[in-house]
Amino acid sequence: MASFILDERDQRFILNELLEVGKLCEHPTYADFSEDMFNMILEEAQKFATEEIFPTLTDSDKEGCSLEDGQVHVPKSFHRCYKLYCEGGWNAMSHPPEVGGQGLPIVISTAARDWFMHNFAFTSYPGLTEGAAHLIEVFGTEEQKKKYLPKMMTGEWGGTMALTEPNAGSDVGNLSTKAIRQPDGTFKLQGTKIFITAGDHDLVENIIHPVLARIEGDPPGTKGISLFIVPKYIVNDDGTLGRRNDYEIAKIEEKMGIHGSATCLINFGDNNECYAELLGEEKQGMKIMFQMMNEARIGVGMQGLTSASIAYMHALQYAKERLQGSSIEHFKDPTAPRTPIINHPDVRRMLLWMKSYVEAMRALMYFAAYCVDKERITNAEVEREKWHGFLEVLTPICKAFCTDIGFRVCETAIQVYGGYGYCSDYPMEQFLRDEKIASIYEGTNGIQALDLVGRKLGLNKGAYFMGLIGEMNSVVDRYKDNPHLKDLAHDVQAGINTLADVSMFFATSAKSGKFLIPISNAYPFLMMMGNVVSAWLLLWEAGIATEKLDTICSGKGIDPSDHAALSGLVKENKDAAFYSGKLASARYFIKNVLPEVDATAKAIKSEDLTVMEIAEESFAV
Amino acid sequence: MNTVVCMKQVPDTETLIKINPEGTGIVTEGIKWVMCPYDEYAVEEALQQKEKFKAGKVTIVSLGPDRAIEAIRTGLAMGADTAVHINDAAFYEKADPYATAAALAAAVKDLEYDAIFCGKQAIDDDSGQVPAILGELLGLPVVTLVVKLEVSEDKTKAVATREVEGGHAVVEVSLPAIFSAQKGLNEPRYASLPGIMKAKKKPVDVKTVSDLGVSVEPMTAIKEMSLPPARQAGKILEGEDAVEKAKALAKALHEEAKLI
Ligand SMILES: Cc1cc2nc3c(=O)[nH]c(=O)nc-3n(C[C@H](O)[C@H](O)[C@H](O)COP(=O)(O)OP(=O)(O)OC[C@H]3O[C@@H](n4cnc5c(N)ncnc54)[C@H](O)[C@@H]3O)c2cc1C
Ligand SMILES: Cc1cc2nc3c(=O)[nH]c(=O)nc-3n(C[C@H](O)[C@H](O)[C@H](O)COP(=O)(O)OP(=O)(O)OC[C@H]3O[C@@H](n4cnc5c(N)ncnc54)[C@H](O)[C@@H]3O)c2cc1C
């Protein structure tokens, strides 16, 4: 069955040709796998996504969730999908086999998710369970692991992540849910959490909530926060389910998108009987959360990528079929045949803009996941630190850049559909609505920008950031003398230099007391860095594509610089078409989008602080 | 219950088919290959029977070139136990339904089985002859277009529901027998991640046709293959009103289409 979820050739290219993930199997941790097996897993992921997950996208959006007598019901179609998803083992892809997971490299589970996550309302249920299980796996006692993990791994039980409160959104440290110490070492919880994804639902028989709260008497702010396990049904020692815990689902939110995902308001302990167990050590709640942050943020970044990908694939298909207007050569002739809109220059511009961003984001997300794997399997300290550093600096880019660009790609894809894109008979407007949340939760994009500029740039005395700059430079070096790529390599080098230069400018501003310059420019800087990172990855992709294209050409006795011969080849050879498309993405992006970096740098260096100077009264009268 | 499943790897149904320059087959480069959808029902049925009897072995037998191993692995990942891959490019190139069935029969001959499952037809060449010829060569009864199957406790006979024009026929057959699967027989499972990982370690016995000790000559050969003609543009009938248009339609149906 054809699916317009993603370009599988692009996926294989990034995994097998760019990152050469097969080599991960040389390490004992992944020795049970092989490149063939990875491919087979992704074939199956594609099949499952196309036949089961995608078909529930529209109906779950229309049906939404409901709350009846304190119990949340998910869209009907999710039940079958969830059952099959768990039977397939997709819900515990990357957990180690010791705890009942499949032990896949993160880069492969990320690639599988690339197929699934366009329907984020659905994947939020198993996704949140995975996150909660991971917390217990890393920080739980042996007893807690035995009690909770097995059923979470099979998907019989669900999980959540309960941080947010009405007065503690971006500022989690301000939370007021309190934990009251009990003589037996357990706690009783009291307080209200809002916006809790998958906070209740009928896909599972029990739900395990990791909840952030403050133990009575502990200090205010992030330092006084602890993490607790709050089960929906308290688990008896023999593993059976005991009493329903004392918390109530007071409402589910009406939202712009992800209607199939239940966003719950939870009141804990109205009757003073909300049982809670400490997870990890007291007052370490925020620290624990931070350790999970990279993974969770990369997960949300995937939502940006997958929405962009499905929107682009749909727009491309539509542009090939929709006849409107005549081609540019005949624009004055009203009797000329109508042409598919893919022939209009402005539509081609939109398509290529989307294509290059989607491919850059895919490379970025897979690269970040690959860093997690490399960090995990590398023994040499220095080498491991290198991968860890890439991951630290790239995480806010994965999260904020990919979710904001993802939204803009969805918007552009609607534009390609014209009036039909705006109407609900087509899925385009839903892609956009579903994607929007990704820039808000898991730390808003504004908070991500502060994390990048305020923390990540200076982390390890700036060595992590400089390590990434070095990595980008080494790709430029590889291609700077290549006749097909040297002008692109030159431009990317200039972009990298500008980025490094602005980061230095931030450092000097801060040193001379002008903190507001980096802080108020954090977001423009993040987006600028995202564009430089994209250019680096697209150049790298183009480099490999050039080599492969040359090989195909020489096999067929074609001179790759002979345009006519090459375009003939591209018409009949799929691989040649693909590689040539890679070159087009890189060239378009580097020549047409990357120059935006210079404008941002110029604006930042102007030291203009109008945003801080304008009086609140002057925003509107 | 021990079963054998005859399985073929075919181009994905979405493939844009091109005819090769000789006009004798399709261009096989750049195609995505999958397990034939009807064979998926066959594999599923074999697995369900094994699960019902809580014992036995499912063996996949497939004739095809190197790439066929991918579909074989899919079957193993679904849960089949072992496989025989008759990998003989020269033979495969010219094999017709008779030659295919003869090779399969030779491979199946030494296996232990209570039933053989096939798809009702391969969706690439659509000949639909293999199950019947296989039955002839092995001297086994054949029940085609099966949509429901019940095997007796002692595995000596089975009651199969077949699809017939406009309805169903229920037939009883003694085992071992060959069953060809029709859509509706069951819902094929997806290969699971643990299944995929186990599949790698399951044994696949690779054989050439001469290993099987048979020499068969195909009885038919493809002389020419062509794509269906491109669809003609539709015609809009002219006329002042509905009556005029109806007259024009009747005329066109009579004179041009010669339907009335
Ligand atoms: C559908 C949905 C699902 C959710 N799922 C979960 C979940 O499962 N678990 C959970 O715990 N939470 C969840 N949330 C909550 C989500 O994480 C918060 O909405 C988010 O952290 C932002 O908090 P807020 O809404 O209170 O916005 P606010 O914190 O009020 O922010 C409003 C605006 O101010 C900006 N801002 C705030 N503080 C600063 C600052 N210091 N510097 C610069 N800018 C700032 C923000 O960037 C934002 O643009 C979910 C929310 C939604 C809508
Ligand atoms: C909510 C809504 C209200 C509306 N109200 C009215 C109304 O009151 N009255 C009315 O008459 N119409 C109305 N419309 C129709 C609206 O004006 C059309 O949808 C619009 O003109 C675009 O046409 P289209 O949807 O057929 O898209 P298409 O023309 O198919 O365009 C699709 C894409 O191709 C691009 N494209 C097409 N041709 C070219 C070209 N030559 N060069 C470059 N790019 C090209 C477009 O820019 C667009 O991105 C409405 C539509 C909507 C959705």
| Inter-chain CB proximity A34 and B14 less than 8 Å | no
User: Rounded to an integer, what distance in angstroms lies between the CA atom of residue A88 and that of residue A254?
Assistant: 32
Query: Looking at chain A, which residue has its C-alpha nearest residue B11?
Result: A1
Ligand 2 and A462: CB distance under 6 A: no
In this predicted structure, what is the pLDDT of residue A100?
87
**All domains in chain B, ordered by first residue:** 3-207 (3.40.50.620), 230-260 (no CATH)
How high is the mean pLDDT of chain B? Answer: 93
Query: What letter represents residue A410's amino acid?
Result: C
User: Rounded to an integer, what distance in angstroms lies between the CA atom of residue A308 and that of residue A326?
Assistant: 29
> What count of Cα atoms within 13 Å lies in the side-chain half-sphere of residue A435?
32
Pairing of strands B9-11, B157-164: unpaired
User: Rounded to an integer, what distance in angstroms lies between the CA atom of residue A137 and that of residue A293?
Assistant: 15
**B244: three-class secondary structure by DSSP:** helix
Query: What letter represents residue A237's amino acid?
Result: D
CA proximity to A150, closest of A112, A206, A79, A198: A206
User: Rounded to an integer, what distance in angstroms lies between the CA atom of residue B63 and that of residue A56?
Assistant: 37
The C-alpha angle B120, B121, B123, rounded to 5 degrees, equals: 135
Residues of chain A with pLDDT under 70: 1-2
**A603: three-class secondary structure by DSSP:** helix
Q: For residues A76 and A63, is the Cβ–Cβ distance under 8 A?
A: yes
Residue B107 has pLDDT above 90, yes or no: yes
Question: Which ligand approaches the C-alpha of residue A349 most closely?
Answer: 2
**All domains in chain A, ordered by first residue:** 2-154 (1.10.540.10), 158-283 (2.40.110.20), 482-612 (no CATH)
CA proximity to A413, closest of A344, A354, A341: A354
Q: Tell me which residue in A2, A40, A575 faces B196 most closely, judged by beta carbons.
A: A40
In this predicted structure, what is the pLDDT of residue A2?
62
Question: Both tokens of residue A449?
Answer: 């920008």
- Helix (H) or strand (E) segment spanning residue A82: helix A77-87
Q: Tell me which residue in B189, B193, B199 faces A89 most closely, judged by beta carbons.
A: B193
Q: Does A111 touch chain B (CB under 8 A)?
A: no
Give Cα A64 to chain centroid, integer Å. Answer: 23
Question: Both tokens of residue A611?
Answer: 């945003």
Beta strands in A120-205 (DSSP E): 157-159, 178-181, 187-197
Q: How far is CA B9 from CA A278, B2, B13, B37, B229, in A?
A: 54, 23, 12, 9, 27
What is the dihedral sign for C-alpha A53, A57, A60, A65?
A: positive
Helix, strand, coil percentages (3-state) for chain B, rounded to 5, are 30, 25, 45
Q: For residues A34 and B200, is the Cβ–Cβ distance under 8 A?
A: yes
The C-alpha angle A412, A530, A110, rounded to 5 degrees, equals: 80
From A234's Cα to the closest Cα of chain B, the distance in A is 31
User: Rounded to an integer, what distance in angstroms lies between the CA atom of residue A365 and that of residue A10?
Assistant: 13
Q: Tell me which residue in A1, A89, A575 faces B14 most closely, judged by beta carbons.
A: A1
CA proximity to B193, closest of A440, A406, A47: A47
The region that residue A191 occupies, defined by phi over 0 for left and psi between -120 and 50 for alpha, beta otherwise, is left
**A429: three-class secondary structure by DSSP:** helix
In this predicted structure, what is the pLDDT of residue B17?
86
Task: Indicate the DSSP class of residue B181.
Answer: E
Cβ neighbours of residue A558 closer than 8 Å, sequence gap 6 or more: A565, A566, A569
Ligand 2 and A422: CB distance under 6 A: yes
| Inter-chain CB proximity A87 and B196 less than 8 Å | no
Q: Does A31 touch chain B (CB under 8 A)?
A: no
Q: How far is CA A264 from CA A70, A193, A457, B36, B166, in A?
A: 11, 8, 36, 45, 51
| Inter-chain CB proximity B197 and A44 less than 8 Å | no
Average of per-residue pLDDT across B180-189:
97
Cβ neighbours of residue A410 closer than 8 Å, sequence gap 6 or more: A307, A308, A311, A428, A431, A432, A435
Question: Both tokens of residue A171?
Answer: 């500022």
Residue A463 CB neighbours (<10 A)? 14
User: Rounded to an integer, what distance in angstroms lies between the CA atom of residue A148 and that of residue A239?
Assistant: 9
CA proximity to B235, closest of B248, B247, B218: B248
Q: For residues A229 and A208, is the Cβ–Cβ distance under 8 A?
A: yes
Cβ neighbours of residue A247 closer than 8 Å, sequence gap 6 or more: A189, A230, A232, A266, A267, A268, A269, A270, A274
From B71's Cα to the closest Cα of chain A, the distance in A is 10
Kindly report whether the global pTM for this prediction surpasses the value 0.90.
yes
From B108's Cα to the closest Cα of chain A, the distance in A is 27
Tokens 């994965």 — which residue?
A: A398
- Which B positions 174-213 lie with beta carbon below 8 A of chain A? 189-194, 196-197, 199-200
ipTM, 2 dp: 0.89
Atom of ligand 2 nearest to the CA of A350: 49
Atom of ligand 1 nearest to the CA of A212: 11
In this predicted structure, what is the pLDDT of residue A294?
78
Q: For residues A321 and A340, is the Cβ–Cβ distance under 8 A?
A: yes
Alpha helices (runs of H) in A438-480, residue ranges in sequence order: 445-450, 463-479
In this predicted structure, what is the pLDDT of residue B260?
82
Residue A350 CB neighbours (<10 A)? 19
| Inter-chain CB proximity A41 and B196 less than 8 Å | yes
Mutate which of A5, A37, A130 to disrupt the B interface (most B C-beta within 10 Å)?
A37
Query: What letter represents residue A135's amino acid?
Result: L
Q: For residues A488 and A542, is the Cβ–Cβ distance under 8 A?
A: yes
Question: Which ligand approaches the C-alpha of residue A419 most closely?
Answer: 2
Q: pLDDT (tens digit, 9 = 90+) per residue, A538-549? A: 999 999 999 999
> What count of Cα atoms within 13 Å lies in the side-chain half-sphere of residue A304?
33
Q: For residues A77 and A55, is the Cβ–Cβ distance under 8 A?
A: yes
- Helix (H) or strand (E) segment spanning residue B85: strand B82-86
From B254's Cα to the closest Cα of chain A, the distance in A is 32
Cβ neighbours of residue A404 closer than 8 Å, sequence gap 6 or more: A304, A439, A445, A527
Question: Both tokens of residue A490?
Answer: 């030159």
Q: How far is the CA of A171 from the centre of ligand 1 (A)?
A: 8
Query: Looking at chain B, which residue has its C-alpha nearest residue A32?
Result: B197
Tokens 């990982």 — which residue?
A: B197
User: Rounded to an integer, what distance in angstroms lies between the CA atom of residue A267 and that of residue A460?
Assistant: 41
Q: How far is CA A530 from CA A91, A307, A394, A495, A525, in A?
A: 30, 18, 9, 11, 8
> What count of Cα atoms within 13 Å lies in the side-chain half-sphere of residue A436?
10
Residue A205 CB neighbours (<10 A)? 12
Task: Indicate the DSSP class of residue A14.
Answer: I
- Which residue of A175, A440, A515, A521 sits with most ligand 1 atoms within 8 Å of its CB, as the best mutation to test the pocket? A440
Task: Indicate the DSSP class of residue A172.
Answer: G
| Inter-chain CB proximity B197 and A102 less than 8 Å | yes
User: Rounded to an integer, what distance in angstroms lies between the CA atom of residue A498 and that of residue A602?
Assistant: 10
A75-102 core/surface letters (b: 16 or more CB in 10 A; e: else):
bebbeebbebbbbbbbbbbbbeeebbbb
User: Rounded to an integer, what distance in angstroms lies between the CA atom of residue A315 and that of residue A298?
Assistant: 26
Backbone angles phi, psi at A226, to 5 degrees: -120, 165
